[in-house]
Structure 1
Amino acid sequence: MIRIATLGTSTITRLFIEAAVDVPTVAVTTAYSRDAERAAQFAGETGLSSSTCDLDRLLSSAEIDAVYIASPNGVHARQARQVIDAGKHVLIEKPAVPTVGEFVDLISAATNAGVVVLEAMRNRYDPALTAIADLLPELGVLRRASLSYCQRSARYDKVLAGERVNIFDPALAGGSLLDLGVYPIAAMIHLFGEPDRVVGAGIPITGGADGAGAALAVYDGMVVDLSYSKITASDRVDEIQGESGTLTFDHVAEPGLARLRLLDGSVTDHSFAGPRNNMVHEIRRFASLVEGTADVATDHAETVATLRVVEQLRTAG
């Protein structure tokens, strides 16, 4: 049994704990927060057996094998290194870190310590995305794709009211690109590989973070447009176009339905049955890596490629 502690008390941590129930080889046991009262309250609300506000004590505990990090993006690297240095495995909520260099450093440290470091990018491990990849040969030569994740954050109202909010704080690596944009980028990398170059632009909001943005990724003979936003909403489908047909699917972070339209007039619908919470797949992958039944090299390569695209877009503004 892999015993996991959580760092962070946001909604995503609650979803992680909910998903972990369906993975019999793991048990989430302990909640950490800098605020002891908050840690205890969160543990009580989520059914965890213990809580703590002492990170050093937590990491020295023989009762913990791994840590799930879901704190603000800007502190992931420091906290993950603490976990690794303590000899614990670490699963880091996306984005694992804001830069390629930080993740490469974590890979090196984890290798030296003999532990696993993995980014919790849920769509990368969802079998539905693999099923979509399996349909791509039906499209013939691929030429265009359009991938998007635009969801207005309820916390944007606080920004408009002049409040400081972590997910919109550039000092904590907040903003739409790192929060939502990484989903279509990761899907793009998984489906098509790393692009030759990327150009894009973000829309700055009060406080300096990007509220929304768009990008164009260029491949040899193909382009992919990416869009992401935390200040507007969209329910349009994602689309992949080939010379023989078009494939659409309903959600880049958790595909459930796809439609394949070929130029011969045929139309086929595909439904991807799966758990209500698709974070279960990343937890299963993490468990297999900790147990030594899988190789993490491909996982790391896709995270690094995703972060390279992110870095290009952050530099472009």
Structure 2
Amino acid sequence: MKLGILGAGMIVRDFLSMVVDLPQIELKGIMGTETDLPNMEEFKDTYKIEHIYTDIDGCLSNDEIDTIYVALPNHLHYMFTKKALEAGKHVICEKPFTLSYDQLVELEALALSKNLILVEAITNQYLTNYKEIREELKTLGNIKLVECNYSQYSSRYDLFKEGTVLPAFNPKMGGGALMDINIYNIHFVVGLFGEPEAVHYFANTERGIDTSGTLVLEYPNTKVVCIGAKDSTSEIQSTIQGTEGSIIVKGSTNIVDSYKKNIYKEEAELVDHKVHPHRMYEEFKVFDKIIKNQDIEFAKEQLDHSKKVMSIVEKALQHAGISLG
């Protein structure tokens, strides 16, 4: 993979700290704004990135770049992913993929028409521990209840209360607890159980945005609660309860650092088979492979998953009366 990075914020800094362990990924360029130049110069020197850009057209005109990683604020994902696809680049886009289901469908059609790989960078779907949980479900009997709680007080919430609205709490920029933090829980659940029959979202809203909320997903025989909060804090944990046992994941659903398996009448077992300490390692290793192999079918499977998640998001926001973008 010959990679061009769009963005120079915290997620990019985190990504670059990991990608050094994937030497098959060549860092050909990074694009940001003029105010990002100090960060980009630092990244260029530290991680040997070949080129710095402050305009998208310059970045996309670099023929050495075959793949674009979109790590920009939520509301920019659709526009810059579309530009990259139109320029003939494969695209890896950070979550949330887009701000609407229709935007995602449009991007999918564009990618397929040009025989390009388009995938969402959502870590949990590629983690070994998560894949093992999927296989372990059959040992739990009939799954009755699932609860995922990812609640983390945001420093930006203090600014929001004071009147400074940053992207994380800006409805026009795809902010809010559902899109920023609870979406990891949705991906976690959909990857295990598929699309639900009904979606309800009970949100705490301030100035038109959800600062926290409880998402209820109804399956034929299973009830799921996904809690996401940026205005309060709790222990971050997920529990899957079945008639024969349970699985408990300590920590957030985008990391799945380990899990505890409790089968009735057996001793509890702590399981951790992760292959790398960084949550993004396994997904980018897969992305590199599918781009090299031009594995369109795999990309389509992942897009189907992302569309299910975006469908849930739209229904949830509609139920809560929240409008984004």
Matches within 5 A, 1:230-241: 230-241=230-241
SS of the equivalent of 2:224 reads: strand
1:213-232 matches, cutoff 5 A: 213-232=213-232
Is 1:21 the counterpart of 2:24? The answer is no
Flag structure 1 segments of 5+ consecutive residues without an equivalent: none
Give the equivalent residue in structure 1 for 2:323. none
**TM-score for both structures, normalised by structure 2:** 0.92
Give, in angstroms, the shift of residue 265 of structure 1: 4.5
1:17 to partner: Cα distance: 1.8
Name 2:31's counterpart in structure 1. Answer: 32
Q: Which residue is equivalent to 1:245?
A: 245
Q: Distance in 1 between matches of 2:51 and 2:162?
A: 36
More off after superposition, 234-243 vs 15-24: 15-24
Trace 1:92-131 onto structure 2 (pairs within 5 A). 92-131=93-132
Give the match for residue 280 of structure 1. 281
> How big is each residue's C-alpha offset from its partner over 1:212-241, in whole Å with a ceiling of 9 and x where there is no partner?
110111111111111001121222421001
Q: What is the correspondence of 1:174-185 to structure 2 with a 5 Å cutoff?
A: 174-185=175-186
Are the aligned partners of 2:150 and 2:237 in contact in 1 as well (CA < 8 Å)? no
Matches within 5 A, 1:84-163: 84-163=85-164
Instruction: State the Cα distance separating 1:292 from its structure 2 match.
Output: 2.0
1:315 corresponds to: 318
Amino acid at match of 2:208: G
Question: Residue 42 of structure 1: SS of its match in structure 2?
Answer: helix
Unaligned stretches of 5+ residues in structure 2:
321-325
Larger mean Cα displacement after TM superposition, 293-302 or 77-86: 293-302
Q: Tell me which residue corresponds to 1:290.
A: 291
Overall identity of the aligned pairs, in %: 25
Aligned equivalents of 1:297 and 1:218: distance in 2? 26
CA distance in 1, matches of 2:153, 2:3: 31
State the distance in 2 between where 1:273 and 1:69 align.
Answer: 26
Q: 1:26 to 1:236 in 2, by over 3 A?
A: closer
Q: Which residue of 1 aligns with 2:195?
A: 194
CA distance in 2, matches of 1:225, 1:149: 11
- C-alpha contact 2:150 2:236 (8 A) present in aligned 1: no
SS of the residue corresponding to residue 146 of structure 1 reads: strand
- What CA distance in whole angstroms lies between the structure 1 residues aligned with 2:248 and 2:122? 21
CA distance in 1, matches of 2:39, 2:190: 39
Give 1:208's aligned residue. Answer: 208
Provide the C-alpha distance between the structure 1 equivalents of 2:315 and 2:142, rounded to a whole number of angstroms: 27
Give the CA deviation at 1:29. Answer: 3.0
Q: 1:43 aligns with which of 34, 41, 47?
A: 41
Following TM superposition, the consecutive aligned residue runs of length 4 or more in structure 1 with deviations greater than 3 angstroms are none
Q: Offset of 1:162 from its aligned partner?
A: 1.5
Q: Tell whether the 8 Å contact from 2:28 to 2:64 is kept in structure 1 after alignment.
A: no
- TM-score where L is the length of structure 1: 0.94
Number of matched residues? 314
Q: Give the whole-Å Cα distance in 1 for the aligned partners of 2:279 and 2:120.
A: 15
Aligned to 1:81: 82
| Contact residue 17 and residue 28 of structure 1 kept, 8 A | no
